[in-house]
Structure 1
Amino acid sequence: MTDRGRTALDTVHAQLDAFNAHDLDAFVATYAADAVIVGVAPDPIVGAAAIRAFYESRLANPDLSCTIDDSVLFGTRWVVAQEQVVNAGVATETIATFDVVDGLIARASMLKA
């Protein structure tokens, strides 16, 4: 589902809301069919099916959540976010970059502190 009327920040926040709601379908729907995620697994995660497979067990974990402490929009499609990913009460600071095209995340890169 493409939401061309959604801004890049709106898309990133929709992805965050779905992550925190542990809603796998809504989470995957914020990504383009050929999206790439790097920095969360040893190899890039490529495509909606791979994103679904990777995040299915993670979003089944009720102790997993994420907050965005700060974010910056560059142009109309690049978002850089300072995040706190919390798992079982332990927070990990993450810098995330999102390239959003036509309302969907085309590429995400995570760098854990």
Structure 2
Amino acid sequence: MNALNVVVAQLAAFNDHDLDAFIATYSPDAVVTGVIAEPIVGREALIEFYRPRFENPQLSCEIETVVQFGDRWVTAREYVRNGDAVTETIATFDVVDGLIQRASMLKA
């Protein structure tokens, strides 16, 4: 699966609130930054962070623009919605061997 397909699968799982499918797109030692003050490291930490969020039916994400660079980098302009609140985000994903190794979020 190419990098863009992995990111699209991750987005679909996010919007479906399918925690297992979402986590399956990340490598066991993945690092996610920019979501909270400290990096989220590893699948277990991702599960702890996202489990309560996925219980919120108003949470969703839409990608407005996406670009793949080379074989492994994807950058997306996203809008994360939580009820009436919308957060514009620039997200970068480093995909290695079909799994997200590193994701970084820059919130507007």
Pick the TM interval, shorter chain. over 0.9
For residues 89 and 14 of structure 1, what CA distance do their matches in structure 2 show? 25
For residues 60 and 29 of structure 1, what CA distance do their matches in structure 2 show? 18
Q: Which residues of 2 match residues 42-81 of structure 1 at below 5 A?
A: 42-81=37-76
TM-score, normalization by structure 1: 0.94
Residue 16 (1) aligns with residue 11 (2) = yes
Structure 1 residues not aligned, in runs of 5+:
1-5
Residue 100 (1) aligns with residue 95 (2) = yes
For residues 69 and 54 of structure 1, what CA distance do their matches in structure 2 show? 25
TM-score, normalization by structure 2: 0.98
Q: Deviations over 1:16-71 (max 9, x none)?
A: 00000000000000000000000001100000000010000111110000000000
For 2:16, the aligned partner's letter is A
Stretches (4+) displaced over 3 A: none
For residues 34 and 11 of structure 1, what CA distance do their matches in structure 2 show? 16
SS of 1:53 mapped into structure 2: helix
Structure 2 residues not aligned, in runs of 5+:
none
Q: Give the RMSD, CA atoms, in angstroms.
A: 0.5
1:3 aligns with none
For 1:11, the aligned partner's letter is V
2:26 aligns with 31
Q: May I ask how many residue pairs the two structures share in their alignment? A: 108
2:104 aligns with 109
Q: How far has the Cα of 1:89 moved from its partner?
A: 2.3
For residues 98 and 28 of structure 1, what CA distance do their matches in structure 2 show? 14
For residues 86 and 36 of structure 2, what CA distance do their matches in structure 1 show? 18
For 2:70, the aligned partner's letter is G
